[in-house]
Structure 1
Amino acid sequence: MWTEHEVKELLRQAGIPVPRGVRDPALAGALRAPLVLKAAGLLHKSDAGGVRLGLTHDTLGAAVAEMRERLGDGFLVEEQAPEGVELIAGLIRDPAFGPVLLAGLGGVWTEALRDTALRLCPISESDARRMLASLRGSSLLYGYRGRPAVDVDAVVKLLMTLAGPGGLWERLELGEFELNPVIATPSGVIAVDARYLPSPCPPSAAPRAGADFTPLFEPRAVAVVGASTSRPTFGNMFLDFYRAAGTPVVAVHPTAASIGGVPAVPTLASAEVDYALVAVPATACAEVVRQARGVPYTQVMSGGFGEAGRPDLEEALVAAAREAGTRLLGPNCMGVYCPKGRQTFVGGGVGPEGSVALISQSGGLAGEVIKVGERRGLAFSRVATLGNAADVTPAELLGWLSRDPSTAAVGLYLEDPRDGLALFSTLSSCPLPVVLLVGGRSGQGRRAAASHTGGMVSDARIWQALADQTGATLVTTQDALIGTLAYFQAHTPRLPGNPAPTRAAPGNAPSQPPSRSPGNPGPALTPRGLDPGERRMAGVLVVGPSGGAGVLAADAFDEAGLTLDPLPDDVLDDLRTLGLGAGSSLANPLEVPVGPRGRPDLVKEVIAAITGRLPYRDVVAHVNVQSFFTYGTTADPLLAYARHLGEVRGVRVTLVTRNGEFAPPGVEDELMAIAAGAGIPVYRSMEAAAIAVAAGQRFCGGTDGTA
């Protein structure tokens, strides 16, 4: 551990203000009182009584003698900093993502309030300002109850010196590095306490050259290793899957000429294929993979490697793949799904070709997302399960998918990113909407640390910082992952040969704290395709039956950080002409009679009247499915309503089918087919729709809310 004096000399050379000080109390005569006396060599000096404030030159000697008797020799005497807002700024190396910056309220408030924000290094000036504006106590920085604002620019400069491009994070061996407190005043900042615990930086993995993953998803032929002639195995199951999908497939077996009607070859070396699936015991996998010369991609389904406490087997597997010149998927993964390439690891054949991709470290979860997603209208371009990701990593595959003309949106399910720095870099440059679901955020990676910085960094907060900095949408459930991908599938179309959609730039945070009124969590961003001089676009318009459902909808969208802008005054007469307003107010959410006895085209006309006056970014239409079958006898009015809703133009439309379980068998599927044909995602709850719409507005511009 460096001494505080040594750390402050490092800060001084970097341009960060620190108090004037001396290590020998006898030399303190040149310092200006009041003085601070600190015991050297203690990690938590205040807890041990190793800090004395407000000393004069006359009282310094007695304080030194008393502290020497209790704590031993070694001191630092400094000029006491003026009062101000106490902040903390620290750096720590996360095992997965590397250097992380933490900033927030410091001093005694650090542990009492834990009001801090995280960003991965390097940060931008916009990141620094957004960190400060996100603090619950941010008003203390910008002036509060008659107190002057601090020099926020000086705070931002300090954060950039620590964590910006070329900052101290690049030169320190983290460890942990903490400034607490930093005193912020109207005239600047000063770091009054500092500690540095070096730790050798782990070597960075050499980046792999960009691979072409087309043969992985669209192989000319597939080999399956591990099928049996005498008993059912996973290998036999995959042979059945490939036969059902019409995929050219060959079995690998030392003696059989065929297995289950599939021709067999004796070794993988004699199979002319682009993709090999290996389902044999873990101890035998390396030898099989070593035979895969000339096979571009080899997937090891088998478990029993690093995840089971056998890293030696995993290292041998990677070495065998390197020796054979094949890229390794897994181990401990289910494989690949691609309707276009007739690649599959799920039964029932392949679904329709689409534009949604998925990278998952869980094969089981990926299978659920495929089957449930297709039932809900998702159509996939590429799905890859990576398991332990010992060779092909999520970052590498995401980089390729971001350039894939068949893919318009990407979902990620991760537990261990394997190369967090590469993932951060790839997400930052990815032009596609990305939806991120992370397993184990609440428990893994938490570690006891000597400093406040380390103690307040956790897996969950780092993943949120990753999403905030890259524009990815972080969700917490599988349902939200599917729902948000459905929104992007509907509203960010990307056809083969067309360029990727352009993500809205995060923008610069304000120099003053943003308004924190309900439904307005931060400054609105300029929507994609709308120049600043064009007509203002509103947030979300909610239309549907039942005032109570509308009130609950307002709560759900407010919770998601979305704004329900008021209706324009000049449309109210048009709405009354359409029969609205009798017995209820004309507001947003707007109550529109939708049911078995209502006009099925009324909502379409209402939306056209409103958006013709004020263009909303999103319209969420909701229906009470139960009412159609409690007060009606057929599904025709409900289906007619969906068809008319599909005729709405010029706005992103989302449909919520409340109480959908009341529909007779087959009706929901028919309604979803109508909606999918019109490019309308369907949800069963306002909360699910709000998460997806918020993600869309963040990607396209319009909100800084968090799903």
Structure 2
Amino acid sequence: MTIQDVQTLRSVSSASLFAQARAEGRSSLDEAAGKALLADFGIRVPRSRVARTAEEAGRIADELTGPFVVKVVSPDILHKSDAGGVALRLADGPAVKAAVEAMAVKPKIAGALVEGWLVEEMAPAGREMVIGGYRDPQFGPMLMVGLGGIFVEVLHDVAFRICPIDAAQAEAMLGELKGRALLRGARGEAAVDEAALIDVMLRIGGPDGLLMRHADEIAELDLNPVIVSANGAVAVDARVILAPDSAGEVGKAQSASPLDTFRPLFEPKTVAVLGASTKDVAIANTFVRRMKAFGYSGALYPIHPNATEIEGLKAYPSLAHTPEPVDYAYIAVGAERIPGILAGANGRCAIAQVISSGFGEVEEGKALQEALVEGAKAGGVRVLGPNCLGTYSPRGGLTFPADAPREVGSIGIVSQSGGLTTDIIKRGEWRGLRFSGAVTIGNSADVKPHELVAYYLEDPQTRAIGLYLEDVKQGRVFFEMLRGAKKPIVILKGGRSNLGRLAAASHTGALAGDEKGWDALQQQTPALLVSTVDEFIDLLLALQHFELRPERPTRAVTLFGNGGGSSVLGTDAFAEAGLDVAPYPDEARMHLEALKLPPGTSVANPIDTPVRTLQEKEGFVAGEILDIVYAHARPDAVAMHLNLAAFVGRGSVDPVDNLFAVIEQTQARWPGLAHFALALRTDGSPELDDRRRHYREKARQVGVPVFEEIAPMARALAGVGHLERRMSERQG
């Protein structure tokens, strides 16, 4: 920017500062303009002026109050300290003049275009902080805060959030810092004004903050350091990297009702199939056969240019020739034909799912994918895919996997992987999951993930949502939607390192790894990221059965089962997951001890009961134990674990079978008090694995999720607690 006096710049609007920098072809604001920008947003900066020569710098110092700092102003030098372009603690005008003369001859400065020298009053001593911002490629503006100096340079002690933030989120960010105690006066140091620091964070990342008002202008922002003391906060350095002109918005919301838009997908009355053959068994033929076997009761229309009958069904030459408009079309034909097919629908097809590949997933198919989207717009069709496998909706009789459960459940799935979705449906079925729907979306050329999430959020049949995502597409809309969500969301994220790191020009950029936006997302919304399919199914299984309690998030757990070593390891697993298996208060222990359970029983929490104890009263002794726990310990969750091998050959009565009646009765007596989860452990033998399947179905009938080990159960309950806390913050 053409060098100007800083006081003059401060009278210029922030929009004018960006416009002038772009008009001059600059990629960043100089420091004077950066501080003028901060001042425009009410952030304190030191008094300063820009000098063109060493002599002028000395004269400026005589008009300000020392000590001083002097910095080089050059569009060629972004990291001034590295170039030797910063001098600190200069006492007076002569010292300032001498410092400028010494810096001017340093190699990196002498060879650069130097526009001037910033002469600035040094800020009072205090704690150095760094506040930064950057434009995440998926979620848009993000805010960073951390301790400055060695804490950011070496320890990377920072926290991130997606903007906008509020005061509570700013406070939570500070709470994540390992060095938070330093702000509060550790080791005899004076405490700093945290309220002033939070105020700066809100002026940068709040609803009307700098990053939100100028989201399209800023690629990276670094205030490093911000000096915070007992007397407030002062930004003593400002680095503002401009975003490319093409940055634009990160997604726009859709206006149509999600339930109306996607009802033809989840409850189709007419289904067309493109790609079935009269001779070969193509994937589309398999789809027709699976639909028949699944019991689809609507009209099935094979589409074929020449055939009159396919798979025993009357065929039609195009989507425009079916007897009725088509709710859902399954398309598995050559990629190059599909744009024309969609354009020719003439408004008679609501949803088309393109199974075919050869589009945007490969370089040579990107233009064809654009043509597909244009064809769909011309034909009035919303498109799922391409490069996917299909949709599973038991309520609508729609399926692409074989032998999927017909029972309508409450878990809604959206996935960018067709094969993984099949795995989730089948493994989930075996574990007890039942689905309200599962949609594969592949490349998401038209319908984006957030649109289907919007459907599930409004769908009364769905109580929890599971997503497998590699690329969220319109991430900003996705974030805003999740921020207001009233249902829990579990995200299995693939390719967390595929976006590529920023070519960072600041500390913020260097620390802004690809995963930071997703990590922030789960701190600001009722969503939780998991890393494996097993964790994904485990948590969804818990959400299928539990009624979440935002008013009392899960933390205190009763661990109850057989096997002393297992109880010890289980306690460790719960502690590692951030949950408490703490000894009971005296009153609870007194009542439990009064039961006079057999020797070897421990009732301290964990409750460790030998098989003999659980066989008392044909297993119904567990109900007496649980009644006392619920009445006097009042945990947030009860986690029961049983080693099924220990029950083999131990009497004629199966106490585990009776246990499900006990659980059902206990939950009825103490509604909403505690989540109940069960880990059924086996030795891997076919006999015990079969027995566990029997028990799992009984547990499903009484609303209890079953896990294979204690540690996965602990992680699932910890996930439930996380989601409850996020929902509590949203309600607050």
TM over 0.5: yes
Where does residue 568 of structure 1 map in the other structure? 585
Unpaired segments ≥5 residues, structure 1: 493-500, 505-525, 529-536
**Bigger radius of gyration, 1 or 2?**
2
Residues 200-235 of structure 1 deviation map (CA, whole Å, 9 limit, x = unaligned): 253334432224211111100211101112222211
| Equivalent position amino acid for 1:29 in 2 | D
Provide closer, same or farther for how the CA distance between residues 257 and 65 of structure 1 changes in structure 2, counting only shifts above 3 A: same
Where does residue 495 of structure 1 map in the other structure? none
Name which of 308, 311, 327 aligns with 1:260. Answer: 311
Give the paired residue count: 666
Where does residue 695 of structure 1 map in the other structure? 719
Whole-angstrom distance in 1 between the partners of 2:354 and 2:371: 13
> Is residue 272 of structure 2 the alignment partner of residue 223 of structure 1?
yes
- For the 8 Å contact 1:362–1:413, the answer to whether it is kept is yes
1:459 partner SS? coil
Where does residue 82 of structure 2 map in the other structure? 47
> Is residue 663 of structure 2 the alignment partner of residue 645 of structure 1?
yes
**1:525-604 matches, cutoff 5 A:** 526-527=551-552, 539-580=556-597, 582=599, 586-594=603-611, 598-599=615-616, 600-604=619-623
1:240 partner SS? helix
| Equivalent position amino acid for 1:605 in 2 | E
- For the 8 Å contact 2:354–2:383, the answer to whether it is kept is yes
Where does residue 614 of structure 1 map in the other structure? 633
Where does residue 133 of structure 2 map in the other structure? 91
Where does residue 59 of structure 1 map in the other structure? 95
| Equivalent position amino acid for 1:420 in 2 | G
Residues 83-128 of structure 1 deviation map (CA, whole Å, 9 limit, x = unaligned): 2221111111111111111111223432201111111111111111
1:119 partner SS? strand
Where does residue 679 of structure 2 map in the other structure? 656
- For the 8 Å contact 1:694–1:703, the answer to whether it is kept is no
Provide closer, same or farther for how the CA distance between residues 399 and 51 of structure 1 changes in structure 2, counting only shifts above 3 A: same
Residues 676-707 of structure 1 deviation map (CA, whole Å, 9 limit, x = unaligned): 111000001222111211222233359999xx
Whole-angstrom distance in 1 between the partners of 2:728 and 2:645: 35
Whole-angstrom distance in 2 between the partners of 1:703 and 1:469: 9
Where does residue 254 of structure 2 map in the other structure? 208
**1:104-123 matches, cutoff 5 A:** 104-123=146-165
Where does residue 708 of structure 2 map in the other structure? 684
> Is residue 343 of structure 2 the alignment partner of residue 290 of structure 1?
yes
Whole-angstrom distance in 1 between the partners of 2:305 and 2:726: 61
1:620 partner SS? strand
Provide closer, same or farther for how the CA distance between residues 702 and 646 of structure 1 changes in structure 2, counting only shifts above 3 A: farther
Shift of 1:78: 1.1
1:23 partner SS? strand
**1:332-347 matches, cutoff 5 A:** 332-347=387-402
1:648 partner SS? helix
Residues 494-535 of structure 1 deviation map (CA, whole Å, 9 limit, x = unaligned): xxxxxxx7x73xxxxxxxxxxxxxxxxxxxxx428xxxxxxx
Provide closer, same or farther for how the CA distance between residues 676 and 48 of structure 1 changes in structure 2, counting only shifts above 3 A: same
2:178 partner SS? coil
Where does residue 510 of structure 1 map in the other structure? none
- For the 8 Å contact 2:682–2:689, the answer to whether it is kept is no
551-560 or 443-452, which deviates more: 443-452
Where does residue 355 of structure 2 map in the other structure? 301
Shift of 1:140: 1.1
Whole-angstrom distance in 2 between the partners of 1:88 and 1:660: 53
Whole-angstrom distance in 2 between the partners of 1:595 and 1:659: 18
Whole-angstrom distance in 1 between the partners of 2:599 and 2:191: 50
Alpha-carbon RMSD across the aligned residues, in angstroms, is: 2.2
Residues 55-83 of structure 1 deviation map (CA, whole Å, 9 limit, x = unaligned): 11132222111101111342112112222
- For the 8 Å contact 2:677–2:713, the answer to whether it is kept is yes
Where does residue 65 of structure 2 map in the other structure? 32
**1:392-411 matches, cutoff 5 A:** 392-411=447-466
Whole-angstrom distance in 2 between the partners of 1:98 and 1:402: 23
- For the 8 Å contact 2:503–2:509, the answer to whether it is kept is yes
Shift of 1:634: 7.5
Shift of 1:624: 1.0
Residues 118-154 of structure 1 deviation map (CA, whole Å, 9 limit, x = unaligned): 1111111111110010111111112211112211111
Residues 299-346 of structure 1 deviation map (CA, whole Å, 9 limit, x = unaligned): 111111111112211111111111111111111121211111001110
Whole-angstrom distance in 2 between the partners of 1:138 and 1:163: 20
> Is residue 241 of structure 2 the alignment partner of residue 241 of structure 1?
no
1:411 partner SS? strand
Whole-angstrom distance in 2 between the partners of 1:206 and 1:150: 41
Name which of 104, 108, 120 aligns with 1:68. Answer: 104
**1:181-580 matches, cutoff 5 A:** 181-199=225-243, 200=245, 202-204=247-249, 205-210=251-256, 211=258, 212=260, 213-247=262-296, 248-271=299-322, 272=324, 273-292=326-345, 293-309=347-363, 310-492=365-547, 504=550, 526-527=551-552, 539-580=556-597
Shift of 1:564: 2.3
Provide closer, same or farther for how the CA distance between residues 634 and 312 of structure 1 changes in structure 2, counting only shifts above 3 A: farther
**1:622-637 matches, cutoff 5 A:** 622-629=641-648, 632=650, 636-637=654-655
Where does residue 131 of structure 1 map in the other structure? 173
Provide closer, same or farther for how the CA distance between residues 579 and 545 of structure 1 changes in structure 2, counting only shifts above 3 A: farther
2:704 partner SS? coil
1:354 partner SS? coil
- For the 8 Å contact 1:424–1:466, the answer to whether it is kept is yes
Provide closer, same or farther for how the CA distance between residues 97 and 597 of structure 1 changes in structure 2, counting only shifts above 3 A: closer
| Equivalent position amino acid for 1:654 in 2 | A
| Equivalent position amino acid for 2:49 in 1 | V
1:639 partner SS? helix
Residues 273-305 of structure 1 deviation map (CA, whole Å, 9 limit, x = unaligned): 210011112211111111222111111111111
1:265 partner SS? coil
Residues 647-669 of structure 1 deviation map (CA, whole Å, 9 limit, x = unaligned): 32223210011236244352111
- For the 8 Å contact 1:592–1:603, the answer to whether it is kept is no
- For the 8 Å contact 1:282–1:305, the answer to whether it is kept is yes
Provide closer, same or farther for how the CA distance between residues 387 and 123 of structure 1 changes in structure 2, counting only shifts above 3 A: same
- For the 8 Å contact 1:37–1:53, the answer to whether it is kept is yes
Name which of 699, 702, 712 aligns with 1:675. Answer: 699
> Is residue 46 of structure 2 the alignment partner of residue 8 of structure 1?
no
Structure with higher helix content? 2
1:306 partner SS? coil
1:334 partner SS? coil
Whole-angstrom distance in 2 between the partners of 1:222 and 1:468: 41
| Equivalent position amino acid for 2:165 in 1 | I
Shift of 1:576: 1.4
Provide closer, same or farther for how the CA distance between residues 102 and 198 of structure 1 changes in structure 2, counting only shifts above 3 A: same
Whole-angstrom distance in 2 between the partners of 1:628 and 1:594: 7
| Equivalent position amino acid for 1:66 in 2 | A
Whole-angstrom distance in 2 between the partners of 1:263 and 1:416: 40
| Equivalent position amino acid for 2:44 in 1 | P
2:410 partner SS? strand
Shift of 1:252: 0.8
Where does residue 15 of structure 2 map in the other structure? none
Whole-angstrom distance in 1 between the partners of 2:557 and 2:497: 32
Whole-angstrom distance in 2 between the partners of 1:562 and 1:16: 41
The percent of aligned pairs where both chains have the same amino acid is 40
Shift of 1:18: 0.9
Residues 518-564 of structure 1 deviation map (CA, whole Å, 9 limit, x = unaligned): xxxxxxxx428xxxxxxxx9721111122221221122112222122
Residues 407-458 of structure 1 deviation map (CA, whole Å, 9 limit, x = unaligned): 1111111111110011101111111111111111144332331111111112
2:496 partner SS? coil
